[in-house]
Every structure is written in C-alpha cells, then in structure tokens.
Structure 1
Amino acid sequence: CLSEVATNDDVELLKGYVIDTRASASSRVAAAKGLANAVDTSSLELASSLVADGSPDPVTGLVVGWLIRNPPEDGNLEQQAAIARALIDQDGPTSILAARAWLSWDTEKALAVGDVLMKHAESDVRLAFAEKLSVNINEARVNELVDMLDDVDPRNRKQIRIWLEAACENETLAPIVRERVISLIASVSKDNWWIGEQAIYLAAKLDEKSITPNLVKFLSGTRPELFVTAAWALRKLDDREQLPQVLAYCTKWAPHFPKEELPRDIEHEINEQMAHLFQWFGIAKYAEATKVLETFVKKNGNVRFRIRASATWAMAQILEGDSDNQRWIKILVDRLNDDAPMPPESPLVKRMAVIALAKMGVDDDKIERNIRELQVSTPEYSVLKDGCHWALNKLYGDPIPPTSDQLVDSGPWLLEPLEDRTRQR
C-alpha cells in the first residue's frame, strides 16, 4: 500500500523496514519491492550500504536484489552493475533476482560475463542468460546458445532448442546452427547423451540428412531421450538409405516383445521408439518390412496395442491399392471383429485396420456391412468412430460428419510427442 502512495514519508518508512533486521523476512522483502516500485533515487545508495560489509545474508540479498531491479534514475549503471555482479555469486533466489535485473537494464555488459552466467549453479540464472542471448542474437551469441544445449537442466535444454529454432529463421544464423549441431551429434557418447537429444531435434527441423548414420547407432542406446528422439528424427528425415539397417534393428528386437523380454526400465520407451520406426516403414512403403510388421499386427496379449496400431497403420500404407490381397484382407477383418473378452481388440488397432481396408480399396458387401455396423455401434468418443467415417468416405463417398469440440484423452503419445494430453476431434 505504501508503495502506491510513495510520498517522502512513505519512502522513509519503507527504508526503515528494509534495514530493520528484527523485522520478518517477508516484511523486509515487501518493503524492498515497494521501494523498487516507488522509483526512489536513493534506493541505489541504500542497496550499496547493505552490501558494503561483504556478502549479505540471504534475506538482505533478496532485499538488495529488489532494490536494484529497475535501472538507476541517475544513470549510474556501473555502481548498480557492481552490486548485481556481487549478488550473482550468491546462492538461490538472490542470484536469480540479481541476474534478471542486471540483464534487463545493462544487457550488453551482463552478456559479456557469459562465462559466469552460462555456468551458474542456479538453473534460472542460466535460463535468464540464454533468453537474453536469444533476444539479442548475433553470430557470436548463437554459438553461445548452442553451447548451452549442454545444460544439465532438461527444461533449459528444451527452451534453448526452441530459441535456436527461431534463430534458424535467420539465413545468416541457420548455417552456423546447422554446422554446430552436426558436430554435437557426432560427439555424442554414453557419457554426454544429453547433448544429443535437442541437437537431433534441431537437425531434423533443418532437414539435415547427413546425421542419419549416427541416428541408427543411437537406436541401440540406453537413454530414452536419445534413442526415442533418434527414431523420431529418422522418420522425419526419411533417408531411405538407412531403411535396411533400421529393419535389421527392428527384426532383432521383434521376438522379445511377445516373450516380454524387453528391459523393464525402458520397456515403454522401446515401444515408443518402434512406433516411430514402424510409421517410417509405412511412409516409405517399405514392403521389405512386411514380415516384421505382420508379427505385431496379429494380437498378442504381451504386446502393447499402440505399437500394434502403428504396425497396422504402416501396413495400410504398404498395401494401398492392393484390393485383391485376400490374405491381408482376412488378417485385417479378423482384427476388426475381434471382441474376445481376454482381452478384446483395442479400438486403436481396429481403427488402423479399417483404414487399411479402405486404403487397399476393398469393395466387398460383407465388409461394407461390417464397417457400417461398427460405425453405428461405436461410441462417439472412440477413435474407431473416426476410422469408420473415414473408411466409408474413402470407399463409398459417404460424407464425414462434422467434428465436435469434445476433448478426448489421447493417452501416451504414439507417433508425435504431445504438449497437451488432449486432442480436438
């Protein structure tokens, strides 16, 4: 309240709270915030006095951090920057507050001490520094930003990658980022796996196919952040020279799924990896993968339905236009009608099966009745409903009903990582 009035008496009262070490920490910090909002030219003088004796205690550090939040009214950046620089060496919130303040009103000089800020113990200090690099980007700073993909905090690494993606919109900076991420990916090992995750993502966004041999090697790693991202990138980059090696990898792992022999600690992630690779087989219409894909299309209670759905989707692409393939028609119709109680077929697998029949162009009266009955009996919220709509439109020109604004839980992501665990139908 006092900071809203900001008369001279109010300011003096706030200063009294700030320097009173007997007052509660919350009162002193609130008073410092008030002084910062009051924009009083003596705040810098007060801040200097509080740090004159050396390293302040944590509460005093926070107080001073708030006092120097705004640029000095008298333009004395040098004195205020010296205070901020001293506070940055503190631990915890004090250093974060000081770094953000300094970066906001003395950006160029603050960025010049990147060797301190980019290696700071506090994750938020490093992130604040990276953000200012991204806002004030140039050729030198984009290199510093790439260096920070090595940050120990995964939240920071992801955000830095997003800023680097934006930097790649600049035709001068994109080649620098491209060259750096290629080098980073080549340097990845089991001891520095975290560098690779976001570097791979950037390389894929830049359509850098030269990294695909490295990606194939990463498939056999033990860190999901690396081997799942590598599979995603192989699908995105679609370098078909790597298909035989990837098929060999999938063929090696395939027998372990029904036997439940996957490593327990990364079982789910291996399923996600395979889902990406199977989809790539479909995108490439890679018929050589049919044998391994078929083993996943057929139901097995030990194999997760999402990887089976991805295999079925891949076969839909490979079989497109093959309307006389009676063997596969039977396999897909069996999936569509499998309502056995232990357990019944997954609606997602059924959805992919009905899509596959439509892409094959199967025009059969019995199968048409089958799909129409499913269309009517399937609940509106089920993913199979959409599949039936699409198949009947593809085969017979039936109009697809308008979508609703119902939010449907997407569950764990199958083929794309989702920021939001819902999708709009």
Structure 2
Amino acid sequence: MNHSHRLTLHRTIHEVTTCSEMSDSAFAAALPQGRKKRWIVPFGSVISRTIFILRRRSWRSLLICLTTLLICHNAIAFDERIDDIMYQDPEFPQATARVEFSDELKPLWLQALARPDAELQRMAADTIALAHRSGMLDLDDTADQLLAVLQQKDLEPSVRRAIVNALITLDARHAAKPFADVAATGSQEIVKLVEPALARWNYEPMRTVWRQRLADPEVERARLQLAIECLGTVKDAESLPALLQIVNNANAQLPLRLAAARASAAIDGNGLIATANELATVETGQPMTSLLSATLLTESDSSEGISILKKLATSDSVAVSGLALRVLFEIDPKLIYDESSSAIHSTDANIRRLGCQALVHRADIDSVALLGPLLNDLDPSLRRDVADWLLALSKQADLRESVIQTAVDVVARDEWRALEQGLIVVAMLDYEPAAPRLLELLSHRRPEVLVTAAWGLRKMAVADALPAMLRQAEQQTTTVVDGSNEPRYTFAIDSQLSHLFQAFGEMGFKESDPLLRKFIPKTLLYNGRSRPAAVWALGKLHEGTVDERLAASLAQRLADVLSMEPEVESVRQMSAIAIGRMGAESQLQVLRDFVREAPGNAGQACAWSLERMTGEKRDFALEFTRTSSNWFLVPKKSPVATETE
C-alpha cells in the first residue's frame, strides 16, 4: 500500500470492541431496547478497573472489584419508576457532546475508494454509510464516485454490497437505473438490498419486472416474495388480480400467500371484502385461511370488513384472533369491548395487552377490577403498563377509590410480581394506610419487593413508620457487617438501604444520624448506592447547622481523587452538596479546588454549594465538542517541530 499520502490505517469498523474497552454509556446502549430498566452497576468500568488493579497489584482493591462483580452477577434490574430523590434535590443538567467530523475525512475515504484494492474500497464504502448514520453531513456528493465504482466490471461481491448499502443509506435516488441493472444480474443477497430501495423510490420501470415474476412459474421463491412485497410498497393496482390469485392458491406456500395478502391490503384496503369473506367461511379447523382473511382486512374500515373481523376475533388460533383484534382496536377500541374480558386471559401476551387497552379505553369500575390481576402478568412490560394504566385511570375522580382498593387487594397477597407493581401504584397514589403492609414487605424474599417497599415508604413519607424503617436499616447494616446475608441479596440490600436513607433525610429523621455516619468512610462493606444516599441524608439532617467534624469528613471524601482507589463520583457529589447545605465555610477552599470539574456532577455540586454559601456563580459550558476519530482511515497528525529543526 502506498503511504505517500500520509494516511494512518486504524482497525476496521467491523472490529468488535471488548467489554473492557466499552464505556458505560456504550454498554447501556447495547442492551435490548424497549422499556428501560435501571441497571445501576457500571459493568464496563468494573472490568476495566479490575484489569488496571491487576497491573498495579493492589490486592485490597482487587477484592473490592471482585465483590462488585459478584454484586453485578446478582444484580436486579429494578423498575424505572423507582427513582432517587437524592439526584433530584438538587438536580443538575447533564452535559451533552456535540460530535465534530474532520474536513479531511471525506477526501481520505474517497482516495481509498478510488484505489484498486478491493478491501480498501469495501471499508471506504462501509465507512461512508456508517458516518452518514452517525450524523456526518455533506456526504451526499460521494454518491457519484460510489456509483462509478459500482459500474466497474468484475467488482468484488463484498465491494458491490458495501457500495449498494452506502448508496441506499445516502438515499441516492439517482442510482435507481444502475440499481435496476444490478438487480437484473446480481446475486440474491444484492437483490434483497436493491429492490426494496427501488420500491421505496417508486422506480416505475421495475413494476414491469415485478409483475412478470408473478406470472413466471419457474421464478425462485425468494425473488417472487420480494416482487410481491415491492408491488405492495408501490401500491401497484395493476398487479392486484395476480396477487389475489396467489392468495387463493391452496398449493402456494403460506409465506407467499401472506405476503400477497399484505400487498393486496396495501393496494386496495376496502375492495377485498368478497375474497376475505370466502376465506373466512372455509370450514373450521383451517386457521391458515382465516389468517389470510384477517390479513386482507388489515387496511379495511368498512362495516362488512368489521363484521368479518369480529367473527375472526373469536378464532381459537391466537394468530388469527390477535390480528383481528388489533385491526378492530385500531379502527375503534369500542369494537372489542365485548371481547376484552376474555382477551385478558389469552395465552398470548399481545392479545392480553389488547384486552387491557380496551378496558382502559372503556374506563369504568368493572374495567379496573379486571385489570387488577394483570399486575401479576408473566410479561414484565405488560404488568408495568397495567400499573401505569391504573394510575392514569385513578385521575378520574369516580375511579380513584376503585384503583386504590384494587392495588391494596394485590398488595395483601404474596405474588411477588403483583406485589412489585401494586406497591408502585399504592405509593404513587400516596395511600398512607398501606404503610404497615409496606413495613412487613421490607423483609420479603424477593429483591424486587423489598426494594420497592422501601422506595414506597419514602414516597408516602409516613412519619410514624420511621422508627420501624430505622430498625430495618440497622438490621440490614448488621447483616452486611457480619456477612450473614446471602450474596444474591447484596445488591438488593444496598438498594433498600439507599431508599431508607433518602427517606430519613427527606423527612428529617435525626435519630438516623449515627447509622448514616457509618457509611461515610470508604470501606469494602458499604458501597454502591447506600453511601451516597447516607451522605445526602446527612446534608439534609444538618441543613443550616455546621458540624465541623462531619464537614471535614465529607471534604475528605470530596478531595479523594488521587488515592489508589479514588472515591466514587456519586459520594463526592453528595459530599459537596452536604457541605453547602450545612454552610461549612471552613471547607470553601475544597469546593473551589474541585469546582473546576464542572460540568461533571461533582463539579456542579461544588458550584451549587459555593453559590449557596457565598453567592459566587460559576459559568461552565454544558455542551462540549468531541471529535469523531474512531474510523478505519484518519488524517495523520503533523509532527511537532523541534528547536533543532
């Protein structure tokens, strides 16, 4: 490879980053999407720290990290509604990063694309696509050079795939004609990329090609299905008779018939009633034809279509009934009111969800009663949604008491899933008579329940419960000190203590002061979330009253940044806040020393305390610029000139 252009070749964009290299935010982003959970322990940082400590041979630190890894292994993903008041009082804005891309990147990638090296061409095309998805602007003009390479003879298949992908990513619609040529001669892998793009771009000449495939008895199944899907995308009315012929062909494979039914529905939503009715009236025991009938009606809102869908909604096949119920619900939720009470008992979670949504829409006392048992649903997202729906229904004055009674009944039982969600409902509605039951549940066998009970007691803020909460906290602390707790409860106990401590601080329970002070020193025993909560609570308890000994201890925690095991950020943040709340002017210099860390949380906490105590305002940017440089090809930095030069 010619290096005269002063390029630096880095690892390929396909290289897999190891866990120890990943940032905590990157690790979190890699988790499955959907409803977010609160993963408290930063796995990536723990592993990276362990590797660092092995090199430094600090065995005490290694023991801490191994203990934390054990906690990670047994960590529970608590519900996102279980919040922490200590991070909201005060609440600091989060710094945001603005990504910048060097102006020299694009020319380098285009140089690589112009080289005869197939691997360089592939990597350059993939990088252009990735950079565009990452927010890099002004890449549209790379499409012409990408097209020029695409039209070269004897192009490597991997290069062709990468260039096609890049052009699709850039939405280069002027590539439609070359794409059509590629589709005519390319591999099935390339065709699966190219033809859906041509359909999205509504490239008219391809319609003839796709129609011809419908009539070709020798066409490959994959290409036939692709043609069906593309004709549905472009809503090609001329192909509707051929598509319906496939739908009615009992000898055709089900995936093809379903694809044809979906395409037909997209083309003419209300014009398929006759065909759908014929399929729906086939003798019972034929769920395939019923599924085809329901699929044909997915875009229909006619009275005839609704009548057929209502019949299909009672099918024994969950695929058929689920689809019919979904379509009916989208037309009008009232259409499935009658089926909702049976739908919530279905073995299919999606059907149960539809039944619940219909009950929520109906919004009456009977609906609330029917929703209650769903707080114990096996599907985590559904039972959480049911709790949210009950809370929403409680805003109606005529339903509030019914919702409270439903939640109280659930909390009285011992089904841990229902207990977790019922506790959330009771706490969010601030139903204080449930406090004795919450105190009982602080010792429940399930981590989800014992943590949620502690959080619920903080939310309800029942002063009479504080002595019992303190006894529980002291007992849990003792189990941690003497090692009598089971390892699988370590994380749960830490989280429960955190919520109890926050409750003590929020309600000003001074009797907890001696216990809270035990959590100030950095120790192997107390870690995670309980220590910052204890420090935050001490700040609340001593607000406006200076305790110099306490202030000195907190200042020591704030300043602990250079030891073998530096203090964790959350403890430093809460220490700075507590100093400010007390008004400990003897520690002003420590605050000034570390305010420079802003907009980090500890730095912002120092700025908050300084302004509170002295009126000093510190300006710091909440947006910073980060140069994106993790690419396979980046500009080589110019050498620094020396005096001899």
Q: Could you give the per-residue CA deviations for residues 117-164 of structure 1, whole angstroms, max 9, x where no partner exists?
A: 011000011111111222232232232223322322111011112222
- Residue 148 (structure 1) aligned with residue 368 (structure 2): no
Match of 1:374 in 2: 594
Match of 2:254 in 1: 25
- Residue 332 (structure 1) aligned with residue 550 (structure 2): no
The question of whether the paired residues in 1 share the 8 Å contact of 2:374 and 2:386 is answered with yes
- Residue 53 (structure 1) aligned with residue 283 (structure 2): yes
The question of whether the paired residues in 1 share the 8 Å contact of 2:297 and 2:305 is answered with no
C-alpha spacing 1:11/1:313, structure 2 compared with 1 (3 Å): same
User: What is the identity, as a one-letter code, of the residue corresponding to 1:297?
Assistant: I
- SS of 1:207's equivalent in the other structure is coil
The question of whether the paired residues in 1 share the 8 Å contact of 2:280 and 2:312 is answered with no
| Cα separation, 1, equivalents of 2:392 and 2:578 | 38
Which of 512, 520, 536 does residue 297 from structure 1 map onto? Answer: 520
User: What is the identity, as a one-letter code, of the residue corresponding to 2:589?
Assistant: R
Match of 1:171 in 2: 397
| Cα separation, 1, equivalents of 2:532 and 2:272 | 68
The alpha carbon displacement at 1:232 in A equals 1.1
- Residue 389 (structure 1) aligned with residue 611 (structure 2): no
User: What is the identity, as a one-letter code, of the residue corresponding to 1:170?
Assistant: Q
Structure 2: any 5+ residue segments left out of the alignment? 1-229, 626-645
Q: Could you give the per-residue CA deviations for residues 331-378 of structure 1, whole angstroms, max 9, x where no partner exists?
A: 2233233346341222221221121122111122xx2222211223x3
| Cα separation, 2, equivalents of 1:369 and 1:162 | 47
The question of whether the paired residues in 1 share the 8 Å contact of 2:432 and 2:462 is answered with yes
| Cα separation, 1, equivalents of 2:355 and 2:617 | 54
The question of whether the paired residues in 1 share the 8 Å contact of 2:554 and 2:575 is answered with yes
By relative contact order (CA 8 Å, sep 6+), the higher-ranking structure is 2
| Cα separation, 2, equivalents of 1:405 and 1:210 | 46
Match of 2:265 in 1: 36
The alpha carbon displacement at 1:183 in A equals 2.2
| Cα separation, 2, equivalents of 1:388 and 1:276 | 24
- Residue 276 (structure 1) aligned with residue 482 (structure 2): no
- SS of 2:423's equivalent in the other structure is helix
Match of 2:568 in 1: 346
User: What is the identity, as a one-letter code, of the residue corresponding to 1:232?
Assistant: W
Q: Could you give the per-residue CA deviations for residues 221-271 of structure 1, whole angstroms, max 9, x where no partner exists?
A: 122221111111111100010011110011011133345543222322221
Match of 2:302 in 1: 73
- SS of 1:296's equivalent in the other structure is coil
Match of 2:329 in 1: 103
TM-score by length of 2: 0.57
- SS of 1:12's equivalent in the other structure is helix
C-alpha spacing 1:204/1:154, structure 2 compared with 1 (3 Å): same
**Length, aligned pairs only:** 394
Q: Could you give the per-residue CA deviations for residues 188-241 of structure 1, whole angstroms, max 9, x where no partner exists?
A: 21xx12112222211222111111111111111122221111111111100010
C-alpha spacing 1:260/1:349, structure 2 compared with 1 (3 Å): farther
Runs of 4+ in 1 over 6 A off after TM superposition: none
Match of 1:218 in 2: 441
Match of 1:204 in 2: 427
User: What is the identity, as a one-letter code, of the residue corresponding to 1:251?
Assistant: E
Of 335-344 and 234-243, more deviation after overlay is shown by 335-344
C-alpha spacing 1:50/1:172, structure 2 compared with 1 (3 Å): closer
Q: Could you give the per-residue CA deviations for residues 281-303 of structure 1, whole angstroms, max 9, x where no partner exists?
A: 00111111112111111210232
| Cα separation, 2, equivalents of 1:242 and 1:213 | 8
TM-score by length of 1: 0.85
Structure 1: any 5+ residue segments left out of the alignment? 408-425
| Cα separation, 2, equivalents of 1:248 and 1:241 | 13
Match of 2:72 in 1: none
Match of 1:11 in 2: 240
